Amino acid sequence: MDITNNITHFKPCGGNYDKPLEIIYYLLGTCNYNCDYCAWRDLKYKENSFEIQKQILDNLFKIRKKSNLFLFGGEPTLCTYFKELIEYIFKNKPKSMTVELQTHGELNPIIIEQIKKYNINVSVSIHYNNIKSITKVLKNILLLNNYNILHRIDFMFEEKNIKKQKIFFKMLEDKNLLPVITPTFGYMNLPDFKKQYSDAKLLYDSFKDCIEKCKDIEDYEISIDNGDISIKDASELYQMNLNFNGWKCNAGSKMVIIDNKGNFNQCTSSYFYDTVKQNIFTNYDRFIKMITSTSCICKYTKCNWDLWVDRVKQ
Ligand code: SF4
Ligand code: SF4
């Protein structure tokens, strides 16, 4: 039975979703990889000046609630003043703010030492078909793990070179890294928002043997209008055409997206869909209102990426 239209409540479960405010900071907006599911692959954004970034950060440091500054790219470590930026963050951030870094893992030793100096939690994303040196990525992952700062490995399973990806997965498994691997699929197809989640179903099936070994599998609790509650995993979810348009979503209290020009929005979909950008320099009151609200009303027909927040049908 297709229950899609009868769902009344959708929330993540089974993972670590009890997070403080997540500030997703697109500090660079460009990358030296070319993943075909990524909005930053064509290098169309330009690095902004250190002065502007410091001003954006100063505004973020004024936030008076527990938060996690999630340094995102494209590939954030390509920022030419990355080292200075990290120094600035740790010199000025409030104690209530933690810092996390997302990277593809092809890091140089200077960057790794800088990350280690501040004990920054690192999430490494594996985009196998773009990796230039498997040896280097594996070595860096092991080093970060050794330093106790490897937070997560987001293994993005891709359609090309499935066998080779599985060999790399096995290499990570053999190094006892299964507990930190989060399997990820093609659903976050940012350039094409109209694509449905079901596009990822075949990929899920192809990598099922790897996925089932991972502990951190995304699960979702779905309530329907007759009171029944069911737990769906990602493979089931991808076959449903979920649409939260008009629903109450707690992205309002959980997250905000901001880029290196100071443009901000509530969630990934709103950041990419909304043509009129709000800016932290000209709409600071709006920014504060957004991060202190408890919920927002979803305006979008497809939720990209941010499935880890709670939402209720109105
Ligand atoms: S490594 Fe990440 S940021 Fe870079 S192109 Fe791939 S998905 Fe995008
Ligand atoms: S698109 Fe944004 S507002 Fe809508 S459900 Fe997803 S996270 Fe919430």
Q: How far is the CA of 43 from the centre of ligand 1 (A)?
A: 10
Which pTM does this prediction carry? 0.90
Peptide bond into 227 cis (omega under 30): no
pLDDT at res. 81: 94
User: Which ligand 2 atom is at minimum distance from the Cα of 309?
Assistant: 7
The architecture CATH gives domain 4-312: Alpha-Beta Barrel (3.20)
Q: Is the CB of 45 under 6 A from ligand 1?
A: no
pLDDT at res. 191: 44
Q: Quick one: CA dihedral 77, 149, 70, 213, positive or negative?
A: positive
Closest of 101, 157, 147, 99 to residue 124, by C-alpha? 101
**Among the bound ligands, the one closest to the CA of 104:** 1
pLDDT at res. 162: 93
Residue type, 265: N
Q: Is the CB of 31 under 6 A from ligand 2?
A: no
Ramachandran quadrant class, 159 (left: phi over 0; alpha: psi -120 to 50; beta: rest): alpha
Which of 42, 75, 129, 268, when mutated, tests ligand 1's pocket best, judged by the most ligand atoms within 8 Å of its CB?
75
Residue nearest to atom 8 of ligand 1 (CA): 38
* Residue spans of beta strands (DSSP E) within 86-218: 97-103, 121-126, 150-156, 181-184
pLDDT in tens, 296-314: 899 887 776 677 788 999 8
Q: For the chain, which residues make up each domain, given as ranges? A: 4-312
Q: Is the CB of 71 under 6 A from ligand 1?
A: no
Q: Using the CB atoms, write b or e for 255-282: b if 16+ within 10 Å.
A: bbbbbbbbbbbbbbbbbbeeeeebbbee
User: Where does residue 20 rank: exposed (0-12), middle (13-18), buried (19+ CB within 10 A)?
Assistant: middle
Q: Cα 130–189–280 angle (5° rounding)? A: 100
Q: How far is the CA of 223 from the centre of ligand 1 (A)?
A: 34
Residue nearest to atom 7 of ligand 1 (CA): 38
Number of H helices, E strands in the chain: 11, 15
pLDDT at res. 251: 87
- Check if the beta carbon of residue 250 is closer than 8 Å to that of residue 295: yes
Q: Which residues in the chain show pLDDT less than 50?
A: 187-191, 198
For residue 49, the tally of other CB atoms under 10 A from its CB is 10
Residue in the structure block whose two tokens are 């936030």: 63
3 state DSSP class of 19: coil
pLDDT at res. 103: 97
pLDDT in tens, 131-182: 999 999 999 999 999 999 999 999 988 888 999 999 999 999 999 999 999 8
3 state DSSP class of 5: helix
pLDDT at res. 239: 63
pLDDT at res. 205: 80
Q: Is the CB of 24 under 6 A from ligand 2?
A: no
